[in-house]
Structure 1
């Protein structure tokens, strides 16, 4: 008889394409994932994965087991829920650290209220998650997603800075500025490429670990910074200036998900429709 837990580990390995990523997702050691897969292979008398330096790839038997295993685990979950009315379904949520979650708090509330049986818990990495609010550039092909927002970047300076009277600046204005570095920026290389093309050398005065800290350092007069639009706040000491570029640099914030409980599918679709409606309102302004 096949146990349920090894099937969970097998599914994680299948979806991640990596033993390491599967272990991270399941909060266990790599040998435990390997042991579970070998145990299944021994019980079924088949090889489930082809192994290489690039990772693992499912065999025909692995593809077959994946479909059967996902159906079985879903039925198992539904069976438990039917006879345990107050039971909670654990859902792991990842929120990218440099995304201002306050901008998307209504999404979290919508999920919580539309599916009381869901227990949301925060995880440290996207590999461990079933649901994520994340920059699309950082998302693996293992996820589906719905777009929430398209964010542009702005230059933030103190109100007494020489550029504070400007509503727009070009990259050439960066030449004589001292910046607080944002090392976690997903578009950092794009900015660097554009400044290099214009022979602009960026001077950094230090690094920040999150965008609220960046704005605090700017307020103290320790430099200027480039931050995404969602972190713009009402602050009389700071000025946010649009950056004029031939090709605007933006990041796409998405609600990403793997296989979800049925109760959440319609909620995700509703969130997408609402985001599209908001986009139309913004474009008409």
Structure 2
């Protein structure tokens, strides 16, 4: 008889395409995932994955088991809910660190208020999550998503900076400026490519770990920075300047989801794109 838990681990490995990512998602060690898969292969007498240095790839038998396993696990969850009226539905939520979550309070509240049995917990990686508020560029193919917001970037300077009175600037204005580095930026390579194409070199005076800190460093006069519009705040000591580009650099913030209880799907479907 096949147990349910190894099927959970198999499904995670199938969807992530990686033993490491599956272990992170399931909050267990990699050997536990490997053992569960080998146990299933032994019980069924088939090979479920082809293994290589690039990761794992499902065999024909693996694809067949995935469909059956997901159906079985969903039925198992529905049985538990049907016969345990007060059972809690735990949802794992990932929030990308450089996203201003204050903009999405209404969405999180709508999810939490769908049912008194829903419990949200924050996880460290998207692989561990059923829900994620994340930059679309970082999203794996295992998720569906709704676009919440699309935003551009602005240059933030101190109010006594030489550029503070400008309403917009071009990349040429970057020349000779001292910047606070934003190493976690998903569009960093796009900005660097444009700077290189225009033969503009910039100097970094330090690194920030989040966008509130980066503005504090700008406020201290340690440099300027490029940040997403959602982190602009009312501050008399700072100025935010639009950056004029032939092809604007933007990022799309999405609500990503997978394997949600049916009670939540209606809430997700009602969300308005590009708020």
- Number of the residue aligned with 1:173: 173
For residue 221 of structure 2, what is the aligned residue in structure 1?
221
Rounded to whole Å, the distance in 2 between the matches of 1:34 and 1:251 is 37
- CA deviations over 1:169-196 (Å, ceiling 9, x no partner): 1111111211100000000111011111
- RMSD (CA atoms): 1.0
Question: After superposition, what is the alpha-carbon deviation per residue over 1:62-96, rounded to whole angstroms, capped at 9, x for unaligned?
Answer: 11111111111111111111111111111111100
Give 3-state SS (helix, strand or coil) of 1:241's partner: strand
Instruction: Tell me, in whole angstroms, the C-alpha distance in 1 between the residues paired with 2:119 and 2:77.
Output: 14
Aligned mates of 1:64, 1:196 — CA distance in 2: 49
Stretches of structure 2 lacking an aligned partner (at least 5 in a row): none
**Gap regions ≥5 residues in structure 1:** 279-285
Counterpart residue number, 1:81: 81
Q: CA deviation at 1:199?
A: 1.1
Q: Which residue of 2 aligns with 1:282?
A: none
- Per the alignment, residue 40 of structure 2 pairs with 40
SS at match of 2:146: strand
- Is 1:126 the counterpart of 2:101? The answer is no
**TM, length-normalised to structure 1:** 0.94
Name the counterpart of 2:231. Answer: 231
Over residues 220-275 of structure 1, what are the superposed CA-to-partner deviations in whole Å (9 max), with x where a residue is unaligned?
A: 1111100001101111111100000000000011111122111111111111xx23
Deviations 1:13-72 (A, max 9, x none): 000011111111111111100100111111111111111221111112111111111111
TM-score by length of structure 2 reads: 0.98
Q: Distance in 1 between matches of 2:60 and 2:179?
A: 53
Pairing of 1:201-220 with structure 2 (within 5 A) = 201-220=201-220
Q: What does residue 197 of structure 2 align with?
A: 197
Q: Distance in 1 between matches of 2:252 and 2:68?
A: 35
